[in-house]
Amino acid sequence: MFDSPVILIALVVLLALSFDFINGFHDTANSIATSISTKALPPWGAIILSAVMNFLGAMLFTGVAKTIGGKIADPLNLDHGMYIVAAALISGIVWNLITWYYGIPSSSSHALIGSLAGAVIAAAGFEAVNFKGFFTIIEALIVSPLIAFSTGYIIMLLIRIIFKNAHPAKINRRFRFLQIFTAAFQAFCHGTNDAQKSMGIITFALVAGGLQSDLEVPFWVKVSCALAMAMGTSVGGWKIIKTVGTQIIKLEPSNGFAADIGSALIIILATLFKLPVSTTHVISSSIMGVGTAKRISAVKWNTAEKIVLAWMITLPVTIIFACLTYWVISIILKI
């Protein structure tokens, strides 16, 4: 039954769309947390806005999808490529659900990339992994939070200097209004980067299964991934919204604006350079930078430490998860 390419690709697409759906309420929660916590937008208004903007962002770009689909391993030179992708997606889904359950804003990007590398290693050995491409992606994932922290810090510092003599109530009202637009921009940027990861993994599977010869993302893949992420967004990841929106710093409208615009700029630049980054890392780091610009003690560093720890363990844990998942699949199906 599972030897049929049609059945296999249907299974992979279902898993990829499930991953995208979970990513929608897992990672997109980060992009609207600030606007909800400062009351710039009511919760369901923020979710609807985010779902629409995520869909639009996902439909307009494909560069990151091609990076995911071709830089970690060559799908044309892998045996059992469909099973590799299935194992990677199962691993990524399990890790996302575990971290969502505990309200930990971990990285879906790290989870997917670690899982794909782990499944490839289990199936074809370390030599099958394109480590140059793999480390290029990892570098972007590591550097982007540092840049986001600095950007959030600088933007907040400028706001404090420019508006130091302004009336607090009036400034809060203005920035609360501006947050509607920065939340929309943030969600759009999230769609341009995160939805493409599932597009890339489906395209990888299509090439590995001999159903297409290049890494060009089919239109139906773009639409289905964009819809899955938008639908996931509409569910809302309330536990993660609470962590990001209230447990890193006490957010005010000016802080939320600074964090939103800083992180959105980093994400859209990464998309233009065709690099997958973690919106979780970028947004959380931007919030930490904004809090530090107010004063170092404004950041709840205990929460920050837990988030950073989750970042650090996601990659090795998902590599191991994916290896074990592929081995189980190979034993059950005798491949």
> Between the CA of residue 19 and those of 24, 180, 197, 308, 331, what are the distances in Å?
9, 28, 10, 22, 24
The reported pLDDT for the residue numbered 178 is 93
Q: Rounded mean pLDDT of 199-220? A: 86
- pLDDT more than 70, % of the chain: 91
Query: Residue 232 belongs to what domain range?
Result: 5-333
Q: Answer yes or no: is pLDDT of 193 > 60.
A: yes
63-79 tens-digit pLDDT: 888 888 778 888 888 88
Per the prediction, the chain carries an average pLDDT of 85
Q: In the numeric block, which tokens belong to residue 114?
A: 């670690």
- Among the listed ranges 114-118, 205-209, 256-260, which one has the minimum average pLDDT value? 205-209
CB atoms near residue 101 (< 10 Å): 9
How many domains does the chain contain in total?
1
Q: In the numeric block, which tokens belong to residue 10?
A: 């249907």
Q: Answer yes or no: is pLDDT of 222 > 80.
A: yes
Give this prediction's pTM.
Answer: 0.84
Q: Answer yes or no: is pLDDT of 246 > 60.
A: no
39 φψ region: left (φ > 0), alpha (ψ -120 to 50), beta (else): left
pLDDT band of residue 175 (cuts 50, 70, 90) is very high
Task: In the chain, count H helices and then E strands.
Answer: 13, 0
